[in-house]
Structure 1
Amino acid sequence: MTPAQFTAETSGRGEFVRQANRFTQRITADGSSDWPVEPGRYRLVVSLACPWAHRSVIVRRLLGLEDALSLAVVDPIRDARGWRFSLDEGGRDPVLGIEFLSEAYLATDPSFTGRYTVPAIVDVHTGQVATNDYPRITLDLSTQWREFHRDGAPDLYPEPLRAEIDAVIEPIFRNVNNGVYRCGFAASQQAYEEAFHDLFGELDRLSDRLATQRYLVGDTITEADIRLFTTLVRFDAVYHGHFKCNRQKLTEMPVLWAYARDLFQTPGFGDTVDFDHIKRHYYGTHEQLNPSGIVPLGPDESGWHTPHGREALGGSPFGTGTPPPAV
């Protein structure tokens, strides 16, 4: 089957408009929703190429939820029916028994006509999507699934810091996480330039903040660092060229490059990155941006393993906790 072209929605001014999440119920520990926390009941469906899904992969690993919440990885190339399970034997997810994520979406809402997005948490028993609300998924893994965290798991959303974390991640989402898409899929010069300036203005502010502190909020890794990392780790590989985010490469922004390397070398971050999936997805799926479908060979990935020197700023990734075990 041929790859499907990603068609971006835009406003009348040519601004990229992100599709709203369709399934926004929460999986809760107190029974306040239709989806109770229950180990083994749900399957987290992700693309290793997708930054939004990558967040949930990192959080799941840091918290040690592998035994409680199983993981399904889709092919980085979507076909005409969306994300597919062609990496699995027989092209079918071994737990859900489906070939395409769309089957779970349509089992939940037969009238759904939007894009079938990842991450999605699917109920194994019914085959329905419990949630595809990616901002909430990771927060709930930290707070609602606490009973099943590993010993020594970090608190990625500590209650005393939640207001500050929320304040930090809002402009990161608008200007950086979504900002690179606003650049890449802008349909007018004005929309592109506005997104470009928002993106690099925010990166400059983050660089100033991180020049004197190791992490975005507090002395340990939090949800804020995870959300920024998944965009930074893709920046030079795809966003700089493919999305025209080309004022500078990440490797040309000293503070952010050192910060990103620090996180990459922290267990749970770099060991969840798949540059092959990332590049093949972006360059092979966005036909309107890369009609040839050629996937670039660079950049050189060895720089991610070079010393970063961020230890001098104090703090430690896991505080009084421990890193996740080696993969």
Structure 2
Amino acid sequence: MTGIIAKEIKGGRFVRQANRFTDRITADGSSGYPAEPGRYRLFVSYACPWAQRTLIVRRLLGLEDVIGLGVVDPIRDDRGWRFPEPDPVTGATFLAELYRATDPSYDGRVTVPCVWDTRTERMVTNDFPAITTTMELEFAAHHAPGAPDLYPEELRTEIDELNELIYTTVNNGVYKAGFATSQEAYDEAVDALFDTLDRLEERLATRRYLMGDRITEADVRLYPTLARFDLVYYGHFKCNLRRLADYPNLWGYARDLYSLPAFGETTNFDHIKRHYYATQRNVNPSGVVPKGPIIDWTEPHDRARLTAS
């Protein structure tokens, strides 16, 4: 186990480190970081579920020309995320260079997604839960015509409550299981994970999406974990009570979302497999990447039947 990951194991349980950079971009600029087109650069890995959320929202809202993008290599070592070639805007070879340009004393794990301000040459935020809602709310003036409202005001309380459950037991729950170093911690994480998946399966029996007939922030947050579930979490993280494919509603729902370009075209299965198996040597010491499983994400689904007329 690398030293940085080891710092996040407490009593056999994985406790995710706090986000270091938590400044906010605001529509009115009151934070000092106004939501200006062309000013910010979003750094992501296609392998990272937290980063994929931001790619999905950026695409759904038509912000590709508003917020720049830098993509790191899926294979990460003790130096952190590396750019395949020096980033053309910042000149950085490793993302850690930009973290330390903002905070020279930083010695924690370097994470994606994060947002860099090209004007002040500082890291604004790596607070992944806030990045998508910032795009949805603070960049609203720059959304493409007809862009969906992913965080409607009348549903925010319900979305926030569901997001908290999904984050705790599913998004982060798979990591709690995979990085657990005690049987008790592992059992606790896996039981909570599958309890929530069972509840979501029931919820999706009568709704096309988590909130009904419209895609929202809740779907954006759940999908990346589902996209990685049978591919890596089932085996690599020992989340093997059931596969996603064993849940008819969840599996159909995931394929329904995958069929949309914002979801499917930001899902890079090659990057996902190589990152988890080749990078996380604490879980897979050999670094050998398995050939399977073979999964047909284009298999037809019947989710449209749940859309109200």
Q: TM-score, normalised by structure 1?
A: 0.91
Aligned to 2:224: 230
Q: Does structure 1 retain, via aligned residues, the 8 Å contact 2:100–2:106?
A: yes
Aligned to 1:141: 135
Q: Secondary structure at the match of 2:200?
A: helix
Q: Does structure 1 retain, via aligned residues, the 8 Å contact 2:4–2:109?
A: no
Aligned to 2:305: 312
**Mapping of residues 156-235 of structure 1, within 5 Å:** 156-235=150-229
Aligned to 2:71: 73
Q: Does structure 1 retain, via aligned residues, the 8 Å contact 2:8–2:17?
A: no
2:103 is the alignment partner of 1:109: yes
Q: Distance in 1 between matches of 2:251 and 2:269?
A: 17
**Mapping of residues 241-256 of structure 1, within 5 Å:** 241-256=235-250
1:15 is displaced (CA, Å) by 0.9
1:128 is displaced (CA, Å) by 1.4
Q: 1:100 aligns with which of 94, 103, 108?
A: 94
1:218 is displaced (CA, Å) by 3.3
Amino acid at match of 1:99: T
Aligned to 2:294: 300
1:167 is displaced (CA, Å) by 1.0
Runs of 4+ displaced beyond 4 Å? none
Deviation string 1:165-214 (CA, Å, 9 cap, x unpaired) is: 01111100000000000000001000000000000000001111111111
Q: 1:17 aligns with which of 15, 18, 21?
A: 15
Amino acid at match of 1:297: K
1:31 is displaced (CA, Å) by 1.8
Amino acid at match of 2:246: E
Q: 1:274 aligns with which of 268, 271, 281?
A: 268
Gaps of 5+ in 2: none
1:12 is displaced (CA, Å) by 4.2
Q: Does structure 1 retain, via aligned residues, the 8 Å contact 2:257–2:264?
A: yes
Q: Secondary structure at the match of 1:129?
A: strand
> Alpha carbon RMSD of aligned pairs, Å?
1.4
Amino acid at match of 2:283: L
1:305 is displaced (CA, Å) by 0.3
Q: 2:119 aligns with which of 110, 121, 125?
A: 125
Aligned to 2:40: 42
Q: Secondary structure at the match of 1:71?
A: strand
1:288 is displaced (CA, Å) by 1.5
Q: Distance in 1 between matches of 2:194 and 2:6?
A: 22
Q: Distance in 2 between matches of 1:149 and 1:315?
A: 26
Amino acid at match of 1:293: G
Amino acid at match of 1:13: G
Q: Secondary structure at the match of 2:97?
A: helix
1:5 is displaced (CA, Å) by 7.8
Q: Does structure 2 retain, via aligned residues, the 8 Å contact 1:169–1:224?
A: yes
Q: Distance in 1 between matches of 2:15 and 2:30?
A: 32
Amino acid at match of 2:34: P
Amino acid at match of 1:39: P
Deviation string 1:62-114 (CA, Å, 9 cap, x unpaired) is: 0000000011000001133111111xxxx200111111111111011111110
Q: Distance in 1 between matches of 2:215 and 2:3?
A: 36
Aligned to 1:63: 61
Q: 1:53 aligns with which of 41, 45, 51?
A: 51
1:32 is displaced (CA, Å) by 2.1
Q: Does structure 2 retain, via aligned residues, the 8 Å contact 1:220–1:315?
A: no
Amino acid at match of 1:72: G
Aligned to 2:82: 84
Q: State the identity %.
A: 61
Q: Does structure 1 retain, via aligned residues, the 8 Å contact 2:4–2:108?
A: no
Q: 1:262 aligns with which of 243, 256, 265?
A: 256
Q: Distance in 2 between matches of 1:141 and 1:10?
A: 29
Q: Distance in 2 between matches of 1:62 and 1:8?
A: 37
Aligned length: 308
2:24 is the alignment partner of 1:30: no
Q: Distance in 2 between matches of 1:310 and 1:47?
A: 30
Q: Does structure 1 retain, via aligned residues, the 8 Å contact 2:87–2:93?
A: yes
1:297 is displaced (CA, Å) by 1.3
Gaps of 5+ in 1: 317-327
Q: Distance in 1 between matches of 2:271 and 2:227?
A: 13
Amino acid at match of 1:188: S
Q: Distance in 2 between matches of 1:220 and 1:165?
A: 12
Q: Secondary structure at the match of 1:305?
A: coil
